[in-house]
Each structure stands twice: as structure tokens, then as C-alpha cells.
Amino acid sequence: MDDLIDTIKAQLYDRISSPLAGSFIIAWCLWNWRFIVVIFSDMPVEEMFTFLDTYIYSTPSKMILFWIVGPLLTTCFYLFIYPHPARWIYEYTRKQHQKVKEIRQRMEDEEPLTKEQAREIRRVAIEARDYLESELEKETEKNKRLQAENEELKNLLQKKEHDLVDTKSNIKKVIEGKNSFDTAKRSFTINLQDAHTQSVILKLLSNLKQNPLVSKENFIKYIAIQLEIDPLEIAYFVELLLKFGFLNLDEGNLSLSSTGENLLSEENFKELQLALNSK
């Protein structure tokens, strides 16, 4: 039973909620409002029926008009004719409201500011300007610091590159010098039995005894010039003199050792020849 009642309620709700049914019910109530008033009055039933038949629905045509034709025409007018002027009136009303709103806004914009409002706007503008200037100054300082750091790193990188190039160049020179020295070692051609060679070497050794601490570089250059021999061979010859203890080396300067003093006589010069032959 409850399910049946719920189903009937749902069907009635669907019918009443539809635009046609709802409009027809409202129109019917408007056309027959006197009937509704009589029904809910305290009039006796017999008098009620007599009143309805006599004054409200006196003829069948009136009953058809008030119960069916009138409500149906009113419903059709509400559903099919009324929306068109209603839409036009709504659009016209919206446009008028928009115009009124624009006029009100324009009047508000043209209204002069009070002193308090002007001071407040000026204060906000000054604060915004100060804030932007502060941020701009911070960013400028930050950019300057970054540029300085970049420049410093760039200079450091260039210095490292130059140092690397110099190091490579020095290594190359050392390798080339070593190769040249090894070549001079293999092609050593100084003939100590030659009288001129003996004379030049003994003279230099004698000078070393009298003037110690002669530059090794100058010593090599002098012998190379006098004997017209490659300086690398002379450099190898000096290394041999140092190796066998005939010369001493102190901070790039040469001096004659006690063993080397024995070479100053031509009789003992053959010891040098023997030492070099054993290299």
C-alpha cells in the first residue's frame, strides 16, 4: 500500500512539475477562484450547489469556458506568447540598468577626492616608489658583485691558461734540452790531446784557481767560443769535471777543487784524459 501511495505521489509530482501541467493548474485556479472560495466556505452543501449552478456555471457553455477553454488558452498564452515580450522587456531593463551603472560610475570617477583620500593615495604611491627603488638598488648591487666575480674568475682562468702554456713550454724546453744534451753526450768530440785544447782548458782552470766562483754559463760559453765546439758538448764536458770532482758548483758558480788543482800541470793533465775515457 505504501509503495502504491509513493508511486502515485511521484507520478503527480512529475505531472505537476511539468511546465504545461503547472501552468494549466494555475490558470484553472485563476479562472475558477470563485468556485474555490465557495467550496472552502461554511455554506451548506445544498445551498453551495444551488449557488454554483445559478451564479457561476449557469450554462454548460460557461462551465466549459471556465473549466477547460479559458485555462487552456491562458496556458498557451503563458507558454508560447508571453516569453517573447518578457525577453524583450528583460533585455531592455538590463540595458537600462547597465546605463545607469555606467552613469553612476562616471559620476563617482568625476567626483573630486578629499584631502584625506589624496594624502592616502600619495602615501601609497611614495611607499611603492621607495620599495621599487630599494629593490632596483639591491638588484644593481647584486649585478655589480656578480660582474666583479665573473671578471675575477675570468682573469684567474686566463692566468691559469698562461701558466699552463708556460709550463708546457718549459717542459718542452727541458725535454728538448735533455735530448740535445744526450745527443751531445753521444757525439762528444773534445780531443784533450790537442795542444790548443789543452792550452784553453788549462788557462781557464788556472783562472778558476785565481778567481773562484765563475759563472758556469760563462765558463761554458768561453770554452765553446775558443774551441769552436757546440756549447752542449762543453756543458757535458763540465758535467764530467763536476762528476769526477775536478770542479765544485755552488749556486750556479764554478770553483776549482783540490783535485782539479793537480790538473794545472801538463804532466798531470793526462789524468783528465784517462778519467774522460772511462765515462
Task: Give me the residues paired with residue 249 across strands.
Answer: 254
Residues contacting 66, CB < 8 A, separation 6+: 31, 32, 35, 56, 57
Residues 6, 102: Cα–Cα separation, whole Å: 54
**234, 223 Cβ separation under 8 angstroms:** yes
Residues 206, 209: Cα–Cα separation, whole Å: 5
User: Residue 256 carries which DSSP code?
Assistant: E
Residue 255 φ/ψ, nearest 5 degrees: -145, 155
Residues 247, 259: Cα–Cα separation, whole Å: 8
Helices assigned H by DSSP within the chain: 2-17, 19-31, 33-39, 45-51, 60-64, 70-76, 83-110, 115-186, 195-210, 216-227, 231-243, 258-261, 269-277
Question: How confident is the model at residue 149, as a pLDDT?
Answer: 86
Task: Give me the residues paired with residue 256 across strands.
Answer: 247
Residues 218, 231: Cα–Cα separation, whole Å: 11
Question: How confident is the model at residue 111, as a pLDDT?
Answer: 61
**pLDDT tens, N- to C-terminus, the chain (279 residues):** 566 566 655 555 555 556 778 788 888 888 888 888 888 888 887 888 788 877 777 788 888 888 888 889 988 988 888 888 888 988 888 888 888 888 877 776 666 667 787 788 888 888 888 888 888 888 888 888 888 888 888 888 888 887 777 766 655 554 444 444 455 455 556 666 666 776 777 777 777 777 766 777 887 887 778 777 777 877 887 887 788 777 777 777 777 777 767 666 655 666 666 555 555
Task: Give me the residues paired with residue 248 across strands.
Answer: 255
**36, 25 Cβ separation under 8 angstroms:** no
Task: Give me the residues paired with residue 214 across strands.
Answer: 254
Task: Give me the residues paired with residue 255 across strands.
Answer: 248
User: Residue 111 carries which DSSP code?
Assistant: S
Predicted structure pTM score? 0.32
Residues 214, 180: Cα–Cα separation, whole Å: 24
Question: Please, what is the Cα angle at 88 between 82 and 91, to 5 degrees?
Answer: 135
What count of Cα atoms within 13 Å lies in the side-chain half-sphere of residue 241?
28
